Structure 1
């Protein structure tokens, strides 16, 4: 049986073997059927009886050159003759031809393949599903093809294989295919032929595929390939294998680029989601504290400190009572720094549960702990390149302060459940209403962390020391609140301004804003009912009584904390255990609801204590 019959007789394509006299000597079964010939009939048909060309003499010459000089042609337009030679051709398509090597390297025959363009896509889909030798050979159009015998020696090489690897037919035919281009791994270590999956195809009579190996080019470089090695059988006897392969260098690059892009997109997606959530939480704060208002000397000293430190990279510790606008100062420092176009990320240290501290600051990977259903970007990573604002930094649990200190000192950290180190460039601005030095002496705050945070301390004066600023602040709040509530503009009278100036404002700017908002809500006509919103004189006197004097004796910490606990219980009873909102316990104490909740938890205060 001829090689043609063995490989192409049952091909689903129109395949013909033509000699140097341009006479067809054999045809595939589908072509025989098309011409009404039996599978055993001897074929001697002139080429012009099979095709009709627009420029017949030119095409005939090209086919002749294929046989005589070993050239190849492809994509030549042709029409296939019908069974009746006189009939008008109706099958149009593309003709390809390549030489078939004979002995002494002389090209004595050409193999022709005619592909109907209308059926081309269907044929390709069918070829991809075939698992036989015929499928692999036909699937080689545009791909490298090697034929090997049962000893592993090369019997056939197509032009695509030469283009991919550089090996010409005369270089490899009759020689070991594995020894030529599959002899070593990419790192140069030997690849024994006994482990070669290509050779295994004609040993175990199974199809072997691979997409993670390399063939060697003539220039000594390795080429990543995807290949299929399929055994060839003649009856019950194995004759060798056909190897179909393609260079996947570009695909590998695309996959790597796609994977890198996907990773980057995922990181950016997480960052954007965190920024989105963060901005939702902060949008009210931004609108209410968009600028620092006031002309008092105390405020001017603070502004001068802000101006001096903003352009540097020094850590800043903002000190002051609750409600004085420490966060506003932090925003001003960031806005006037070189990092202004990068994010300012806020962390309220008092509101983070202890068991979620690491996840909140550093992030976590999926599955690192119960409830970690997806990767999370931590606040420290989110602030990379910008500023991290640690509000109420004195509330960080002592056993967690060391982890934060290490991250701030070394500018690197690991997410929870991850061993990959992430480097960040973050400026730290911290704020607290506590006396951190006293906390350090009491052993509740790390000394090294305190000095790391307090490179440049800024003291924000309370509102009672900024009497000149009360009026401008009140007018600003009144204007913005009227707009927010859809009310007609209201004004403050001189008498009302005097009343505001006389009050001591234990809750500072936050309390002032609440009073103005409450007054707007209570106003029915065009006259602002500040009288209904202002705290009573008794409350003002009580707030003055709470202020320490120079001669006041101190009390031990345990007694102080017991008094604080009793004070919290008293205000909770007064508000019927309403913590937040207007006239809530937190507002009356002049602290944030989150701070009150934290202190209630620290003191173990529960509602049952009111009974």
Structure 2
């Protein structure tokens, strides 16, 4: 074989080797011009070697980035090998096909060195389109998996119960937020730890809890669901948490491959059960009457009345108190007569407090505030199921007052249909609850009060005459304040001190001019109106001079401007803070005047001339709460 034949054969073998390679291979001279390429390079990039030989490779297939932006030759790793003689690799770029499509590739640019000089480079590259596609699919699948896992975790974390998973060996694999909250552990800190060792290692009494006895792990053995409601899990701070839980196996090919434990903290339920048991024992030991008495008395003001709290110097008041002293020690029923606001309840409490029943309860019934259909139940009580809404037994006011005094305020408002049963109960000292045929015996003294003329009511057929006689064994008439001129100033002075103390202010001075104004007022609202006037005056007062204003009273009272000129500092405006303080204090004053009742004819809302819902809203806005 001649040298030419050998050379040709070698050339053929060289080309065969290149064309057999799966990667694209081409060569560049020292200027970066294409000198050769194999079949794979032609297939991947679509060129013909004869068309590109001698052209700059950068211009042929590497001129732009994937987004189409220009790719500067001096930035190209292929040509860097011509500059520095180092091997350069890249897998984040594209070569451009002759049809204009971008082909993702990874390539290596290796310099060819001859006699110590760089004479060219060989570029070996492969089309990684499929790999990139697979990577994108894997990334998308991974993102979807993460989304699903995040969604599942959100669902788990939204659950109020603790939820955690175990693998086939009993190691923790996941846990939700409630697990962390209930047990105090961070899930990341206990993953791949044995759940038994983490929180289920001991019984409530501290004795060891063998793992083989644990129902949580039993699900891993027998593939059955196990439910438990009488064990404890242990908090990270060493506390035992009473729990109920369900351990459910995860089955793979019919065999247990893990378990999911769902549990809840039942501490409050256990406490509630214990409280119910304690309450049951208490109920067995106490009478039902004493238990329910608290419900009736909760809204009553706990007032202890002594003669010293009934303020006044008039002869008529002294005569009234003499009657109180005379009748208090007896068992006679008392009827207190007088206009609204004169202080009939104070007299009733004085009668009770100074009787031999003073240590027993004084049960007040405001007859004007009870709906007609509820009178009988309110007075005598009812048994469960007696009528719609009677969900439990209820003790009536008559029974609550057993041994004490029943104060019937506004007694003239009692419906005629109920007066006969009330009369029988007072005469025979016994009655039946609504819905019950059993007779209850009581020992009750009655003190009644009214601003009506009951004799006129009897004549009009609205009040039973026999009941009137039963109630009015010992009548006490409390005259209106306009007939007790001597009592006005002492009462006003008392209210100035009391209201100032309640409002946390220094008591202003009551001048002689104030006294004259007060004595000259007709006081149609009696003592209640006097207190309201004093309270309003103290609220509006700044400094030591009382700002007395009777303009809200009757029309013959001195003008507010005249009074203010004599009794104030001359300021005719309030700051915003002062105005809000004034408004709040005015609400408190009305609530006190109404014994903290919001609703009803005698409620604070009616006194203020606003809706009860409006008053409730303002109380909330100012943070006003009924004193305990």
TM bucket, shorter chain: 0.3 to 0.5
Higher Rg of the two aligned structures? 2
Structure with more contact order per residue of length (Cα contacts < 8 Å, sep ≥ 6): 1
The two structures have a TM-score, normalised by structure 2, of 0.44
